[in-house]
Chain A
Amino acid sequence: MDLRLTAKAAATDAERAAVDEVLGPPPSQWEGGARRAQDAHQAFGGHAARGRRHQLITVLHAIQDKAGWISPGALDYVAERLTVPPAEAFGVASFYAMFRTVPPATGLSPGTVVHVCDDVACQVAGAEALCAEMTRRFGPEGADRVPTGNGFHGAGVTWQRSPCLGKCDLGSAALIQRAGTAAPRRDLAPVTPDAVRDALAGSGPAAGVPLGVLVPQLSSRTGPGFASPDIAASPGSGPVSLLRRVGRVDPASLGSYRAAGGYEMLRRALRLGPQGVIREVRDAKLAGRGGAAFPTHIKWDAVAANPVRPKYVVCNADESEPGTFKDRVLMEADPYALVEALTVMGYACGAEQGYLYIRGEYPTAEGRLAHAVAMAREHGFLGPRVMGESFAFDIEIRRGAGAYIAGEETALINSLEGKRAEPRNKPPFPAQSGLFGQPTAVNNVETLLSVLEILRVGGPAYAAVGTPGSTGTRLFCLSGCVPAPGLYEYDFGVTLRTVIDGAGGVAGGRPLQAVLLGGAAGVFVGPQALDMPLTYEGTRAAGATLGSGVVLVLDDTVSVPALLRRITRFFRDESCGQCVPCRVGTVRQEELVARLAGPVSGEPGSGKPAPLGSVAAELALLKDIGYVTRDASICGLGQTALSAVESAVKLGLIGTDFTGTDFPGTDSQGV
């Protein structure tokens, strides 16, 4: 490709080294290396060169981690190495929130960015107070500052608000990006300004990957269903349990995993054969747990039956739905199980390569998974002959870079290809044309672990758990106003009341105002919904959704309008911007909710603007905005971006004289 490189300054040695660490040294003059004699008469480019693009995000991470931002010179070097035009590479770098394309303002490089979660669950737990304290200690949000006297040493620090970091059970959370260090990304929860200071000073808890800890520090507060030996006794819990190993196995130890029955399910799968595995999954009636509840066996069967090769399987570990932390817990506590389950999926689908796409905000989980993959490879559970059989399979872990939309499966596929995480129009579905245009199956972490359970008890036995329409067990992410937030597993069919009671009921015995089900893309339900069974069919009948299993409990003191402002901000921030309904609709929704809700403490806004015309006119507008985003957006993000606000209006939690009800297609398809 006739690239034109435009940077005024070349990449620094450190930036080149960061890239070369991923890609190896440049093979020739034509890819950014020194001029060699053999370059005078030959060069290789074309399809093979352009085929390297899929490594773009990995390489951008390497630069970000090393230098604290993606400089023009570094981008040019990447462009040369991967044959990606600089404008395209910039389009990718500027898409993801974890990449910075401007230098740290202090000029002190590499910079440090502290992302403090202020999303829905943390809001309820007091994020505004935390942010106020962060401002007092570290300066206004987004401002780089040379800290003095707080124990920092020479690095510019910026703090900024972050969407959900998946630590909703812990009350507060931060992600610290600190370029040029051994741990360029660290997760921290719960968060206090002192903890941030200590972490930056290096005196906080060991960064990164605490391996070798038998019982990991997963949560400071655990519910009965989580990290507790009492799990089998939790209400409704039967023979199936996704959490059976959580807190009981050492996430760093393959031996510990095997002692707990690890890799028996892969052995069983290899005995059943690919079709046998798919049959079990079909008999189990497993539906995807990521939010869309699509029957898993249909995806697998379509990929397995497709004659085109190669095929790919992908684990979607880009858990980003606000209020959701289940996949993180599973990956941190039971990483080998996910490696095993993805291997089973590859076997069933006829793939030789699996990708595990994990959000960049989960460094601890990523570290443990990387270790698990390496150990599995070392012990023959991955590689050219998995478990000694004639089945070749390997897994590559790919790190997201701060984009909720990357959790949408086709957006995730684009991200794996080194592109902006923009969803693709369907059809074609990934099973026909997915990663690199090849047949691809994508499943969420909880779905995959459910497959291990299916193999353990058998498809029919699994289907016997739960209800006819919703089989097996389901993880619920309890947060908000409950005494014992955490991850809970129940058989399908449990009511909302039971789940809340399982976490101790509404904290302090206060009245329940509402529950946000399914996350930001979900819906608010009121106390009258407490006896709703938490099944696909039960929630659908009530116009609600299970989504990703979020149960955010709100007592009467919580400001729902403030939550709605956070949710609408979230959707505007996370819309990829590709299609008009979502790109503009999320903006218009945020403006509208701002008018209805008025200014929220800690956010800009000068007095409460009068609604345009009347509340009725606003609600009519909301109805139209909801209509087009739901009905005409490309993907589930847009299609669900107004669910929460609309449900809050219906419950009278905002804009009290709303009357419109006839929205089409109320079943939610979360991303």
Chain B
Amino acid sequence: MWGSNAREAHPIFFHHVLKGIRNGAKMYAVDPRRSSTAKWADAWLGIHVGSDISLANAIANEIIAAGLVDEEFIRRATVNFEAYREAVARYPLERAERDSGVPRELIRQLAHDYAKADRAQICWTLGITEHHNAADNVLALINLSLLTGHVGKYGSGLVPLRGQNNVQGGGDMGAIPNKLAGFQDIELDEAARNRFGAKYGVPVPGKKGYHLSQMFDAMERGELTCAYVIGENPVSSEADTHHTRKLLEGLDCLVVQDIVMTETAKVADVVLPGTASWCESEGTVTNSERRVQRVRKAVDPPAGARDDIWIIGELARRLGYDWGDPTAEDLWNEVRELSPMHRGMSFEKLERLGGIQWPCPDEESQGTLFLHARLWEEDPARRGAPAPFHVVEQDDPLDTLTAEYPIRLTTGRRLDSYNTGAASNLYVTPLRQPETLNLSPEDAAALGLADDEIARVTSRRGSITAPVRADGTLREGLAFMTLHFPEQVETNILTLDTWDPKSGTAEFKATAIRVERATPEEAAAFWERTTSLEV
């Protein structure tokens, strides 16, 4: 488990991990904090925030040095190994120990256990991806799986855990800048473009669009002047809140379609009240393991709220295109027509099998339990293109620690809450704790701050106030907050919106902060604000 607190963020996935542990599986946790996930591990590697690549490369170097690589697999199924080997040779255990803080012996132990395991998986979440070099972090982990052949086999592999119930489905459907539905490349796959163009009667431009971070840059430049936001709350969820709000407010036209009045909806020109897709309408979602699943209507939406399909259809009608009155199944069958990997998934079959993991290309297919099995094929033709090793280098967090900003703030999730709390803050849970700035007991003591005293937290972008909590799972110099309660504590005022050019993700996980005791006025203002929220 690398940069993943699945115990709290993906609890039912973690049930499966626990089942494995109960059956004897060993688990290592790589995380700056000794999170509740890490507490289940046989060993926890408490790395410095953002030292992941140094650690991964050192693990690789150790595996190579110990002769534990899967040479046959590397020879047949990969390319670029030599360059990779040379690159990771610059990461001896000593360097990784220096970069990450983790004792070299423990790194060595992890390297050996991973390489020698019959089956091994690397699971990760936002601890890997909410960095300015997110894609490189992921590649560093992929390299390890290629090195040891822990990929494309039952029980082995790479497991990125998705954060939303349909973020995978959004990608599946082409809601990403460079792909059409079914991950068909909009620039490289002309045949696919033509298929879509023929179906819709319009040519599909062979040029990819913007990802989210690029859209904000485009707004900044004044190139992007109109946005239609469906089921997303960027004012609360994006890094550097002040900046995001300003950009959205500056648009010529902002349309927000959501089920509740989010912070983003509040700045919109038009708000379209939608339905809760999981219980007020029909359709599908795709989970983290590529399992397409049916969602169904269980309750009628509130008066005035409309099914998302109807809203989009009606927009089209007003714009001069009559798309008729399609059902969710009609639209799904359209997906099946255009996306080969979904072709074998009828509503009836999804119902019968209780969900199907893509690809499912035809009627016979029951779906695909794991990917990349082709890499193990004997026949080169079936094996297909080899998987490349990527040379990636350690690149420290951009928000550097200085005397002025000496504490590293990292962010994460709590079990009973979810993202910005738009949904989760509305149910009553005995677990719920108000937002706090968690500090190591040493830092809290050095600052003279007791639990529940109000601190002012300042980053290079802004300043907020929050109550302090001493937290023994944090080491000196490491602080932790969530972003579940933006109305109480706008954590994202602090975070840096510098994003990874490859993935578009912002570096939520590594902010440099300064912590001070809040003035009595600030503290009073904090309590007044939060108390008024509770009423």
Query: Do A and B touch directly, given a CB cutoff of 8 Å in the complex?
Result: yes
- A46: Cβ under 8 A from any B Cβ: yes
Subset of 13 A-B contacts with CB under 8 Å? A2-B7, A2-B37, A3-B39, A35-B441, A35-B442, A39-B475, A41-B46, A41-B475, A42-B46, A43-B41, A45-B44, A46-B21, A46-B27
Interface assignment of A136: CB less than 8 Å from any CB of chain B: no
Is A182 an interface position by the 8 A CB rule? no
Contact at B47–A2, with CB atoms within 8 Å?
no
Binds A, one of B100-108, B394-402, B510-518: B100-108
Question: Given B27, B36, B102, which contacts A42 in the complex, CB threshold below 8 Å?
Answer: B102
Chain A 358-378 near chain B by CB (<8 Å), digits 1 or 0? 000000000000000000000
Contact with B along A225-253 (1 / 0, CB 8 A): 00000000000000000000000000000
Q: How large is the interface on B (under 10, 10 to 19, 20 to 34, 35 or more residues)?
A: 20 to 34
User: Does A40 belong to the interface (CB within 8 Å)?
Assistant: yes
Taking the closest CB of chain B, its distance from the CB of A33, in whole angstroms, is 12
Q: Is B26's CB under 8 angstroms from A46's CB?
A: yes
A1 in the interface (beta carbon within 8 A): yes
Contact with A along B12-51 (1 / 0, CB 8 A): 0000000001001011000000101111111111110000
CB of A308, distance to nearest CB on chain B (Å): 14
Contact B45 A48 (CB under 8 A): no
Report the minimal beta-carbon distance from A2 to chain B, rounded to whole angstroms.
4
CB distance from A438 to the nearest CB of B (A): 14
Expressed in whole angstroms, the minimum distance between the Cβ of A161 and any Cβ of chain B is 42
B46:A2 contact, CB within 8 angstroms: no
The answer to whether A46 and B40 touch (CB under 8 A), given A30-B34, A41-B46, A41-B103, is yes
Looking at the assembled complex, report how far the CB atom of B413 sits from the nearest CB atom of chain A, in whole angstroms. Answer: 14
Compute how far the CA of A2 lies from the CA of B100 in the bound complex, rounded to whole angstroms.
Answer: 24
Would you call B351 an interface residue if the criterion is a C-beta within 8 Å of the partner chain's C-beta atoms?
no
Report whether B472 and A29 are in contact in the complex, using a CB–CB cutoff of 8 Å. yes
Contact of B472 among A1, A2, A35, A42 (CB under 8 A): A35
**Which of B37, B46, B100 has a CB less than 8 Å from the CB of A43?**
B46
Indicate whether B476 reaches chain A with its CB closer than 8 angstroms.
yes
Chain A residue with the shortest CB-CB distance to B7:
A2
Cβ of A42 and Cβ of B40 under 8 Å apart? no
Within the complex, the shortest CB–CB distance from B335 to chain A, in Å, comes to 41
Q: For residue B44, which residue of chain A has the nearest CB?
A: A43
Partner of B103, one of A30, A38, A47: A38
The 6 A-B residue pairs whose C-beta atoms are closest, nearest first, are A46-B42, A2-B36, A40-B475, A41-B46, A41-B101, A2-B39
With A30-B34, A41-B45, A46-B26 known as contacts, the answer to whether A1 contacts B103 (CB < 8 A) is no
Q: How far is the CB of A587 from chain B (nearest CB, A)?
A: 35
- Chain A residues with CB under 8 A of B45: 41-42
Minimum distance in angstroms from B316 CB to a CB of chain A: 50
Contacts A38-B103, A41-B100, A42-B106 known; A2 to B42 CB distance under 8 Å?
A: no
Q: Which of B34, B40, B44, B476 contacts A1 (CB 8 A)?
A: B40
Q: Using a CB-CB cutoff of 8 Å, which residues 578-631 of chain A contact chain B?
A: none
Q: Smallest Cβ distance from A506 to chain B, in angstroms?
A: 59
B27 contacts across to A, CB distance below 8 A: 46
Asked if B43 and A44 make an inter-chain contact with CB atoms under 8 angstroms apart, the answer reads: yes
Cα separation A45 to B21 with both chains bound (whole Å): 12
Residues 213-242 of chain B, each 1 if its beta carbon lies under 8 Å from chain A, else 0: 000000000000000000000000000000
Question: Using a CB-CB cutoff of 8 Å, which residues 1-57 of chain A contact chain B?
Answer: 1-3, 29-30, 35, 38-48
Q: How far is the CB of A16 from chain B (nearest CB, A)?
A: 17
Closest to A4 in B: B36
- Knowing A30-B34, A42-B102, A43-B46, say if A2 contacts B475 (CB, 8 Å): no
Residues of A within 8 Å of B42, CB to CB, are 44-48
Residues of B within 8 A of A46 (CB): 21, 26-27, 40-43
Contact between chains at B43 and A41 (CB < 8 Å): no
Total A-B pairs, Cβ < 8 A? 62
A contact residues around B24 at 8 Å (CB): 47
Distance in angstroms from A45 CB to nearest chain B CB is 6
* Known contacts A30-B34, A45-B39, A47-B26; 20 further A-B pairs (Cβ under 8 A): A3-B39, A40-B46, A40-B101, A40-B475, A40-B476, A41-B47, A41-B100, A41-B101, A41-B102, A42-B43, A42-B44, A42-B103, A43-B44, A44-B43, A44-B44, A45-B40, A46-B40, A46-B41, A47-B42, A48-B42
Q: Mark A152-185, 1 if CB is under 8 A from B, else 0.
A: 0000000000000000000000000000000000
Shortest beta-carbon distance from A354 to chain B in Å: 26
Q: Which of A1, A35, A38, A43 contacts B43 (CB 8 A)?
A: A43
Among A43, A47, A48, contact of B34 (Cβ-Cβ < 8 Å): A43
Residues of chain B contacted by A39 (CB below 8 angstroms): 475
Residue-wise, chain B 154-165 has the 8 Å CB interface mask toward A (1 for contact) of: 000000000000
Contacts of A47 in B (CB 8 A): 21, 24, 26, 42
Which A residues are CB-close (under 8 A) to B106? 42
Q: Which residues of A contact B442 (CB under 8 A)?
A: 35
Q: Which residues of A contact B44 (CB under 8 A)?
A: 42-45
Measured CB to CB, the closest approach of chain A to B411, in angstroms, equals: 20
Inter-chain CA distance A42–B44, complex, in Å, is: 5
Q: In the bound complex, what is the Cα–Cα distance between A41 and B40 (angstroms)? A: 16
A1 near B39 with CB under 8 A, answer yes
Chain B CB count within 10 A is highest, among A29, A44, A45, for A45
Chain A's nearest CB lies how many Å from the CB of B2? 15
What separation, in Å, do the CA atoms of A30 and B29 have in the docked complex? 15
> How far apart are A422's CB and chain B's nearest CB, in angstroms?
19
A332 CB to closest chain B CB (Å) equals 43
Residues of B within 8 Å of A48, CB to CB, are 42
Residue of A nearest to B32 (CB): A41
Which residues in B have their C-beta under 8 angstroms from that of A44?
42-44
Give the complex CA separation of A2 and B7 in angstroms.
Answer: 9
CA distance A327 to B449 in the complex (A): 62
Contact with B along A462-484 (1 / 0, CB 8 A): 00000000000000000000000
Q: Which residues of A contact B441 (CB under 8 A)?
A: 35
List A contacts of B47 (CB < 8 A): 41
A45 to B39, CA, bound (A): 7
A40 and B476 alpha carbons, distance in the complex (Å): 8
A39 to B41 CA separation, bound complex (whole angstroms):
15
Q: Is the CB of B40 within 8 A of A2?
A: yes
Residues of A within 8 A of B43 (CB): 42-46
A577 to chain B, nearest CB (A): 25
Report chain B residues within 8 Å CB of A30: 34
Report B535 CB to chain A, min CB distance, Å.
Answer: 31
Q: How far is the CA of A102 from the CA of B106 in the complex (A)?
A: 43
Q: Please, which residues of chain A bring their CB within 8 A of the CB of B100?
A: 41
B480 smallest CB distance to A (angstroms): 14
Closest to A46 in B: B42
Minimum CB–CB distance from A79 to chain B (whole Å) comes to 13
**Beta-carbon nearest neighbor of A47 in chain B:** B42
Complex CA distance for A2 and B38, rounded to whole angstroms: 8
Least distance between A371 CB and chain B CB atoms (Å): 39
CB-defined contacts of A45 to chain B, threshold 8 Å: 39-44
CA distance A397 to B27 in the complex (A): 33
Assembled-state Cα–Cα distance A180/B46 (Å): 41
Contact with B along A314-330 (1 / 0, CB 8 A): 00000000000000000
- Tell me the complex Cα distance, A29–B442, Å: 14
A603 CB to nearest chain B CB (Å): 44
Q: Which of B37, B39, B43 gathers most chain A CB within 10 Å?
A: B39
Complex: A476 Cα to B187 Cα, angstroms: 93
Closest chain A residue to B103 by CB distance? A42
A175 to B394, CA, bound (A): 67
When C-beta atoms are compared, the residue in chain A nearest to B46 turns out to be A41
A316 to B11, CA, bound (A): 43
